[in-house]
Structure 1
Amino acid sequence: MSYLHDYYLTNYTKCSKCESFLCSWEDLAVTSHSITGVVIPFHVFGGYCILSKTPVYMTHYRWPLFNMHFWSCFVDILISALITPYLIFPAVAGFPVGLLQFLEIPVTVQIWFGIMGIYVMVMSMTILLENRHNSIPSNRFRITGKLFKFIYYSARVLIAVSFSMLIFQFVPEDQSSALFQILKSIPCPTEEFFTASGMFVLVIDETYINLLAIACVLGVSFEILQMIFFIICCLHYLYFAINGFTSKKTRKLQIAFFGSIMLQVSIPILFLLPSFVFLVFSVVSGYYNQALTNFSVVYASIHGLLSTLVVLTIHKPYRKFIRSLLGMSNAVDLQNKSMFNTRKASVFPTHVTA
């Protein structure tokens, strides 16, 4: 630690400090935790609507929808409140400033929770798409066997657990030396690099870093390919091979469900994928920008809120329930009734003049 202390008192004094918003851990913590306080009521309300206000014709859709809603909200809270990672990239290092750190949960456990939480959330998106994929009667690629489905998802979880445990094999034993080595590539990090008590280096060897980056890209690509497969099958049978549907109404309802799922799945992808791409780019290219790195964390942490809002707005039963809470449904009904009476009066006059 003396090497770091000496560097902090000598070389670091020549560095210009980062004065931008989100450079400090306080900015990240306050921003992320404030977002959590706003989004939790929306998450709870969204879960209540899915469990209590889902109509009978959406019964088979309810549990996969709630499963994705739960894990999306969990990852949202995990990033913004429970862990709140202050990442030092392109070095694979950082420290948490969330509730779990306050409770003195080991950093390695927090990292494991983060990796598994994100993976299970991505898998819940695949489950939701697979549910729509299996609901099309004429689909020859439906996964109907319970045993096969159990093996399929168990294997994916096992792979994720193995990967999440494997990365801890590269943790340097001498954390102080690892931190000092990081200064060779990042000579002017933020002051937190020297003052934070929970600073942790996950991996320092450049070869291992590249291997982890490649493994992450392959893992994400594998999940995306599965989603693409289910999406292509749904598009084919909903828009081209339509002879298997018993009625146009059933097909129209299936298309509506598929469209809502596509919109819901796209929200986490649009908010998690850019952050993931930036962090991988930072590692591969050696680009360091602490404010932008912290912004990518905040950006990723609001995907759950937008996903919840999408669920509540794209499904008619939930919209109707929200309107009833706001007292809008009666006004709409009265307006529709008034319009109907007006049309009726214009067609059928009440009296005839001589």
Structure 2
Amino acid sequence: MNSVKRYFLNLHIWIIIYDNFLGVLTIPYVILPTWSGYTLGLLRHLEVSDITMNVLIVLACTNTLLSILAIFEHRFHIVCTYSWKSKWERYRHFWLGTHYMYAVLVFIPFWFLVPEQIEAKKHVFEKIPCLPPSVRSGPIFVVTEDFTYHLTSLVVFLLIGMIEFFGFMLCLVWNILQRVRSKRMSQKTYEVHVKFFIALLIQTGIPTVMLLIPLTYAWVSILYNYYDQSFTNGVIIFETLHGLCSTLVMIFIHAPYRQALFAMVFRCYMRSDEYRPQSSSSVAPTPNNPNAPDKPQP
């Protein structure tokens, strides 16, 4: 567990960045099936450009997915004992650095593909004539009218990541089973590895699904030219719950984090109980009360 802590930390840093961009700094109002809309967050009041905010959101999302992939690569590096793994160890840092570099460089052309906004807005209104006046009068920004590069770059990124993810997962499962069959791993060690592997799958799987569902809906909406603003708003709200679910899953799946949280809560409760004022009652001495203190003798 200690060896994977910094990978968990990296993952949660990107989750915090992504959720704050989505739910505080930008708060996007997205108009699908066009890649357009406007933002309501803090960065808009700081006069940050719309294309910069769009790129920052997508960049934080891709780096969150890369952090999940890095966790499984690290488990592959620690657990697996394949004969060819020594060759992989020479390039693993280059491999990870290349992925993070790709996640940055692939979005640079976004700035150069922004269309002329007056004509682009007219095309949006023609494509979606049922937009309410409150939306039409808003500061709509159109990221692009031609989705070829944008969708291709994102789909290639997701496909490569999913292939690598399932590759690491299969290597882990197959290696553990081989070591158990050859009796190079005890039953107790096997149970520990399986328990941690299942916990890792749950912890990374739930946030990944919460990220992929909105991306998949956006892709399908663009491909089939489907417009439903209420459903789009619901998908964005669903996406903002990603950080909360990730934190809760991590706390309740992994025993060390769960025990640390319960210990903190218990200490805070005990500390507040110590400083709680105690109610005291006094008993007035009466002649008929045998427990009353004796009067001092003159």
TM-score, reference length from structure 2 = 0.83
Matching residue of 1:200: 141
Offset of 1:321 from its aligned partner? 2.2
Contact 1:86 1:96 (C-alpha < 8 Å) held by counterparts: yes
Q: Aligned pairs, how many?
A: 268
Q: How does 1:171-210 map to 2 (within 5 A)?
A: 171-172=114-115, 174-197=116-139, 199-204=140-145, 208-210=146-148
Contact 1:87 1:94 (C-alpha < 8 Å) held by counterparts: yes
Matching residue of 1:268: 207
Distance 1:320 1:151 in 2: 36
Find the partner of 2:225 among 286, 310, 315: 286
Offset of 1:238 from its aligned partner? 2.0
Matching residue of 2:58: 115
| Residues 245 and 72 of structure 1: CA distance in aligned 2, closer, same or farther (over 3 Å) | farther
Matching residue of 2:113: 170
**CA radius of gyration, larger in:** 2
Offset of 1:245 from its aligned partner? 4.1
Q: Specify every segment of 5 or more residues in structure 1 that has no aligned partner in the other structure, as ranges.
A: 1-57, 329-354
Distance 1:141 1:125 in 2: 24
- What do residues 153-179 of structure 1 show as CA deviations (whole Å, max 9, x unaligned)? 22222322222112232211x201110
Distance 1:80 1:142 in 2: 41
Matching residue of 1:253: 192
For the pair 1:98 / 2:41, whether they are aligned, the reply is yes
| Letter in structure 2 aligned against 1:178 | A
| Residues 191 and 272 of structure 1: CA distance in aligned 2, closer, same or farther (over 3 Å) | farther
Distance 2:86 2:112 in 1: 36
For the pair 1:222 / 2:160, whether they are aligned, the reply is yes
Distance 1:179 1:156 in 2: 35
| Residues 221 and 141 of structure 1: CA distance in aligned 2, closer, same or farther (over 3 Å) | farther
What is the percent sequence identity of the aligned residues?
23
Find the partner of 1:304 among 231, 234, 243: 243
SS at match of 1:287: coil
Distance 1:143 1:73 in 2: 35
Distance 2:86 2:235 in 1: 37
Distance 1:202 1:273 in 2: 21
SS at match of 1:201: strand
Task: With a CA cutoff of 8 Å and minimum separation of 6, indicate the structure with the bigger relative contact order.
Answer: 1
Offset of 1:137 from its aligned partner? 4.4
SS at match of 1:225: helix
Offset of 1:141 from its aligned partner? 5.4
Distance 2:60 2:118 in 1: 29
Q: Specify every segment of 5 or more residues in structure 2 that has no aligned partner in the other structure, as ranges.
A: 268-298
Offset of 1:70 from its aligned partner? 1.6
SS at match of 1:61: helix
Matching residue of 1:61: 4
Matching residue of 2:259: 320
Offset of 1:241 from its aligned partner? 4.0
Distance 1:137 1:155 in 2: 23
Distance 1:264 1:140 in 2: 30
| Residues 168 and 322 of structure 1: CA distance in aligned 2, closer, same or farther (over 3 Å) | same
| Letter in structure 2 aligned against 1:212 | H
Offset of 1:212 from its aligned partner? 2.5
Distance 1:262 1:176 in 2: 47
| Residues 308 and 143 of structure 1: CA distance in aligned 2, closer, same or farther (over 3 Å) | farther
SS at match of 2:37: strand
- What do residues 42-68 of structure 1 show as CA deviations (whole Å, max 9, x unaligned)? xxxxxxxxxxxxxxxx21011111111
| Letter in structure 1 aligned against 2:108 | M
- What do residues 309-345 of structure 1 show as CA deviations (whole Å, max 9, x unaligned)? 11111111222223323439xxxxxxxxxxxxxxxxx
TM-score, reference length from structure 1 = 0.70
Distance 2:165 2:16 in 1: 20
Offset of 1:301 from its aligned partner? 1.2
SS at match of 1:202: strand
Distance 2:82 2:31 in 1: 47
Contact 1:119 1:160 (C-alpha < 8 Å) held by counterparts: yes
